[in-house]
Amino acid sequence: VLFLAYFTLQVIYARRKYKISPPETRGHPEFERIFRAQVNCSEYFPIFVSLLWVAGIFFHQGVAAVCGLLYLYTRFKYFQGYAVAAQGRLGPLYASARLLWLLLGLAVAGLLAHFLWP
């Protein structure tokens, strides 16, 4: 949640810097990149939290926590990279996607183990 708050603050600062009042979402290219990065991170947050929760409960808390911390780090790098240039988001984007797939796999494995082999 602190990451989302930080990203939102960056949008507010960019709005002030480039004099873009809400509800406008277009303007200076740097503002648009910061705005898109914030929205993209917000869109994936419910998926991330859900997978983290299920993987932590049904697979292993420690493994899920490490994956969660790595995911947050890659999303932070994604935001930083996107704010500079659109191409800067790609490496961290792919890394965060792999971590979501890993969390999904852990969650499914944990659920299968819990319900099929009690």
Query: Residues with catalytic annotation?
Result: 16, 89
What is d(CA 96, CA 3) in angstroms, rounded to the nearest whole number?
14
What is d(CA 43, CA 36) in angstroms, rounded to the nearest whole number?
10
Taken in order 88, 91, 95, 100, is the CA torsion positive or negative? Answer: positive
- The tokens for 38 are 């914030």
What is d(CA 79, CA 93) in angstroms, rounded to the nearest whole number?
9
SS3 for 23?
A: coil
